[in-house]
Amino acid sequence: MQKMPIVFVPGLFGSMSDQIVSGTGDWNFGLAKTAYEPVISMLGNMGYRLGKELFIAFYDWRQPIAFTAEYLVQTIAWAKQVTGYGMVNVVCHSMGGLVARSYVQSDTYLGDVAQLIILATPNAGSPVSYCYWAGGKLPASVAPRKNLVELYMAVYLAYLERGLPRNKIEALHRNFPSLLDLAPARAYGDYLLEERDGMEMFVPYDYMLVKNRVLDELNSQMDVIPARGIPVTLVAGIGQSTIQYLKTVPSLSPVKWVDGRVVGSINSKMGDGNVMMDSVFALNGEKYVVEANHLDILTKSESILKYKLQ
């Protein structure tokens, strides 16, 4: 008997094509193939053949998450047409989980997702994204040794910068708006620890200019997922030094570091190196924790995937 199809949704930088970077060809994993090809092989060993029971929802991760959900809709339609099934299991990594949520929580949801399996998704956002959105970079004082995801970001920003006008921040916002959709939302809690006049105090989220309104809305309406009968499995990685809070000082620029210039961080091992466990678990669902970094979590969740997909 044929298995119910899986639609796999990769994370940020997990999709590449000429649409994103000229000369990279048709949709593929790009630089992130070392992270994603092993999980595709792992699912293949479980009996899910690419293009037959397993489909990849590539998307333009630069665009707002509400926009990228349309790529997932098209891939689900393709999977249903190929297999004859009316529903699919959706397995998501990182930003891919937000893409999937944007679809299943939307007014245009077609009732075709049997379950959501979400790995390492920043359901409450990630402080690292504030650095990129507000400052255009991840300061060395925060991450002197970048992990692989941050290296992907550095490579892409260097590529993007070649065609940017003088106002880098404004151009970054125009060309990479999804960065704001990954910044901490209200559910994350206050995360900027500002030093002013020799004292440190958290900057209240309500007073900030950088607000993740997309995630705020998704999180305020998360009850629609169980109401639509979609079981959710959440897998978070721990054991890696992960930015939990950012240390800041007041910024003098009206366009850069608008809520405070980042000068350091407070890290925690209760994360995967990119996303805090509590951010993954900001969504309601069945929760699992594995010792893994943000990319290794894909293969280290094999037993969980086998159990949920049986």
Task: Give the whole-angstrom CA distance, residue 188 versus residue 86.
Answer: 36
What 8-state DSSP symbol labels residue 271? B
pLDDT of residue 174: 87
Write out the chain's pLDDT in tens, 310 residues.
Answer: 678 999 999 999 999 999 988 889 999 999 899 999 999 999 999 999 999 999 999 999 999 999 999 999 999 999 999 999 999 999 999 999 999 999 999 999 999 999 999 999 999 999 999 999 999 888 988 876 777 888 888 888 887 777 665 677 888 898 899 999 999 999 999 999 999 888 999 999 999 999 999 999 999 999 999 999 999 999 999 999 999 999 999 998 888 999 999 999 999 999 999 999 999 999 999 999 999 999 999 999 999 999 999 8
pLDDT of residue 149: 84
> And the tokens for 174?
């125009």
Q: Tell the burial category of 206 from Cβ atoms under 10 Å away from its Cβ (0-12, 13-18, 19+).
A: exposed
pLDDT of residue 63: 95
Q: What's the domain range around 23?
A: 6-309
Task: Give the whole-angstrom CA distance, residue 251 versus residue 265.
Answer: 16
In a domain, residue 86? The reply is: yes
pLDDT of residue 144: 65
Quick one: how many helices (H) and strands (E) in the chain?
Answer: 12, 10
Name the domain count of the chain.
1
Q: Tell the burial category of 145 from Cβ atoms under 10 Å away from its Cβ (0-12, 13-18, 19+).
A: exposed
pLDDT of residue 1: 65
Task: Give the whole-angstrom CA distance, residue 218 versus residue 283.
Answer: 10
In a domain, residue 264? The reply is: yes
In a domain, residue 223? The reply is: yes
pLDDT of residue 278: 98
Cβ(92)–Cβ(59) below 8 Å:
no
Q: What is the CATH number of the domain that holds 49?
A: 3.40.50.1820
pLDDT of residue 166: 66
**Residue type for position 141:** S
In a domain, residue 1? The reply is: no
CA 69 to chain centre: 13
Cβ(267)–Cβ(136) below 8 Å:
no
Closest CA to 237 of 122, 96, 114, 105: 122
**Residue type for position 129:** S
Residue 86: other Cβ atoms inside 10 A: 11
pLDDT of residue 31: 87
Q: Tell the burial category of 52 from Cβ atoms under 10 Å away from its Cβ (0-12, 13-18, 19+).
A: middle
In a domain, residue 298? The reply is: yes
pTM (2 d.p.):
0.95
Task: Give the whole-angstrom CA distance, residue 265 versus residue 248.
Answer: 8
In a domain, residue 190? The reply is: yes
